[in-house]
Structure 1
């Protein structure tokens, strides 16, 4: 990475690839970071409203891509996407688990503003995203977009909750938080592959099916701009790759015998199997992007790739501490890549702290949609910054989960984990959150703690 990168890019990013010297790590020679330059808006470009292809991996860790420093996982298609666009080094999910982050993305608001968002994650049929709540899809649809969601929904179950009740014209995918990749049996031993609100039978490997569906969608002759939320379940457990029918059959057998923990696959998986799944995700994204290019829509489509939360058991998160479900950096910092050739130059990196609700606000702004006045957004639109070079004012990024709290302001992060002890970290110098500055920065700690508590006071309490 260019030596002209800011101190935050070198310290806060803490990527093995991008900041190898600072971390004592060797940067992979294939890294997209090797020739990146600091982000700068190309203000002379103009284009109509874009199509939007928003892709999420599932439980993909911050450093699980070779462009983010993985020494053993190779992701050439996503690395190419990063070279063609902007790679965000300090990007975060809206929460530390699946469904709350999806709530924050679909609504542009803190998960704690809605009852369904209090589930961390949704694990039964008692909660979901209320169809009356405006969403990214419903607001863009009102502004003239076609909308579709392909893949994992995880914001409630039928008959009360569904993407087609919340603004998406089309839905093909699964409702629950996990499923066996072949049999499509979910957490309740139910068959969980749907087209609209009707079950759809296909016992092939799930990632293949989603890739085919998404490729078909982006290849259509649409009469309007479109939004496609493409939510892969890869590399979420169970740890089965394409071709692992035998493993899938054994997990399915256990599900059918009433083993409630079969899908969690505590007795399976490995670093090599995880690598296989992430590399399969990379190839799948590559196939969808190739279909988009063949359709002649690459230039005028805004593509975003990210993850719903930090990595899980076999993820590579170095140098971050923590994993999925934690508000430490490893639980919420995620790989995030944005490409829009018509408006944004490639080969760039941004160290701007951003998170899921910001992308909602940004896409609504770019798509010409207005938020509903009764449901103000908690995210900040980055459209002015990305397209016109406007400075983003310093603001607070807020997180709350049961037993943990966190708030980032600039380079500083306030964190209280399950120990109940307030801590303060300077992330550009200590991305691993090991050097607690709370004893020395008492005034700053008090300010950030008070800011967290002001936001928390506006949210629904747990148990409501």
Structure 2
């Protein structure tokens, strides 16, 4: 613990900031936690994120509480767990006998989708909490919760959220990154002219499918693996990295980087199936680290000293970190801790999370949608299934700090530890 604590103490800023910092939150979409140059991947090249990592307080053992995009993104913007903000699943229950486009034309299905957004609106969001401190805010990329200005509190947004015009998970916002960064650049120029601090939500649908990278990038990877699907995914990771580099370069060019807090993570993990354009079972939507783990980077020039920490952290920590940096009110209801508060990180006994159905069973009752709960404490991770939803599930226990691929299940050999971690898990949320 002393070594870990010392790695965090360097992040504590000395003295008050001269002005409220700008905040840029960069969220990757469907990327494996190892799939970065700075995380040691043998082939994937991410030079811009590597540079950001070198300039940041870097948490290599970051987690998202749930491994599906909508619930994970809702946690980032609210600072609450899915069972608190009530967004557990991507979509409402499917109408009997309907799927895909047919379901999306069903009046009852659309009514429940609108109700999910109304449930989300009960929770605080970072743009709303930053607004009283004078922040302008911009949404780009993935956004599921209706109109991003009306429902999320952004002052400007790309996503209209109108289901009659294709609104579901980002609509017009999904062009960001893949078709340039003009909306972000225009927003940064206006914020500079107005002299306002700003918050940018940059969550492009990258490296998310479709894996259709530029030919010049695919050519770099096609001979490094026998799988065309893996090569395309790797090329997508580099394409996403290029867009991050363009965003960071714009902050430099406009002179805004010096007082900008940049935070990076991805929404959930991804393990590419080498035989198809899909993910492997122990990644996205799973309770395993392949779906939950992400690096977390925090860069704030002159305020946060670069360094590395192996202390586990969670995306529930983003909201209190951003609000504290901005000098804004931090609601007492937020369960996370400030990533720059070394003492709070050291004192936290565990991280928690849960995974849920893709289509909810009941949009108002999180427990009805629950598949697994998990807890991470002292290097040990316990996974407990809800047998009503996963009849073939079993309790699993892994020493993830030594077994990051979670292959050596120790549950049968460590019954006392299973009982101890179950008590912690039930004290967090019993799933009822």
Q: Distance in 1 between matches of 2:162 and 2:69?
A: 10
Question: Where does residue 326 of structure 1 map in the other structure?
Answer: 286
Residue 132 of structure 1 and its aligned partner are, at CA, apart by 3.7
Q: For 1:384, which of 320, 341, 345 is the aligned residue?
A: 341
Unaligned runs of 5+ in 1: 10-36, 178-183, 195-201, 245-267
- What is the total number of aligned residue pairs between the two structures? 373
1:269/1:456 CA distance change after superposition, 3 Å: farther
Look up the SS of the partner of 2:51 in the other structure. helix
After the TM superposition, which residues 103-122 of structure 1 pair with which residues of structure 2 at under 5 Å, given as runs?
A: 103-115=74-86, 117-120=87-90
The reply on whether 1:214 has 2:184 as its aligned counterpart is yes
Q: Distance in 1 between matches of 2:62 and 2:144?
A: 22
Q: Distance in 2 between matches of 1:83 and 1:296?
A: 20
Look up the SS of the partner of 1:383 in the other structure. coil
TM-score for both structures, normalised by structure 2: 0.77
Q: For 1:54, which of 11, 20, 25 is the aligned residue?
A: 25
Residue 341 of structure 1 and its aligned partner are, at CA, apart by 0.9
Q: For 2:172, which of 193, 198, 213 is the aligned residue?
A: 193
Q: For 2:396, which of 416, 423, 427 is the aligned residue?
A: 423
Two-structure CA RMSD over aligned residues (Å): 3.2
TM-score for both structures, normalised by structure 1: 0.72
Q: Distance in 2 between matches of 1:173 and 1:149?
A: 7
Residues 65, 354 of structure 2: 8 Å contact kept: no
Residue 241 of structure 1 and its aligned partner are, at CA, apart by 2.4
Question: Where does residue 38 of structure 2 map in the other structure?
Answer: 67
Unaligned runs of 5+ in 2: 93-103, 217-226, 275-279, 357-370
Structure 1 moving runs of 4+ over 3 Å? 37-40, 42-46, 120-125, 161-164, 173-177, 184-188
Q: Distance in 2 between matches of 1:362 and 1:420?
A: 36
1:289/1:451 CA distance change after superposition, 3 Å: same
After the TM superposition, which residues 277-292 of structure 1 pair with which residues of structure 2 at under 5 Å, given as runs?
A: 277-292=236-251
Q: Distance in 2 between matches of 1:378 and 1:119?
A: 21
1:168/1:312 CA distance change after superposition, 3 Å: farther
Q: Distance in 2 between matches of 1:238 and 1:5?
A: 45
The reply on whether 1:433 has 2:406 as its aligned counterpart is yes
Residue 175 of structure 1 and its aligned partner are, at CA, apart by 4.7
Question: Where does residue 350 of structure 2 map in the other structure?
Answer: 396
Q: Distance in 2 between matches of 1:396 and 1:312?
A: 25
Name the one with the larger helix percent: 2
Look up the SS of the partner of 2:24 in the other structure. strand
Question: Where does residue 368 of structure 2 map in the other structure?
Answer: none
After the TM superposition, which residues 44-443 of structure 1 pair with which residues of structure 2 at under 5 Å, given as runs?
A: 45-46=14-15, 47=17, 48-115=19-86, 117-120=87-90, 125=110, 126=113, 127-128=116-117, 130-155=120-145, 157=146, 161-173=147-159, 175=161, 192-193=171-172, 206-209=176-179, 211-220=181-190, 221=192, 222-242=194-214, 270-313=229-272, 322-346=282-306, 348-372=307-331, 376-385=333-342, 392-402=346-356, 403-417=371-385, 418=390, 419-443=392-416
Q: Distance in 2 between matches of 1:176 and 1:231?
A: 19
Residues 376, 382 of structure 2: 8 Å contact kept: yes
Which one is further off, 228-237 or 272-281?
272-281
Q: Distance in 2 between matches of 1:105 and 1:392?
A: 22
1:286/1:421 CA distance change after superposition, 3 Å: same
Q: Distance in 1 between matches of 2:75 and 2:29?
A: 15
Which one is further off, 424-433 or 71-80?
424-433
Residue 174 of structure 1 and its aligned partner are, at CA, apart by 7.0
1:86/1:104 CA distance change after superposition, 3 Å: same
Residue 438 of structure 1 and its aligned partner are, at CA, apart by 2.1
Residue 44 of structure 1 and its aligned partner are, at CA, apart by 5.9
1:276/1:429 CA distance change after superposition, 3 Å: closer
Residue 5 of structure 1 and its aligned partner are, at CA, apart by 11
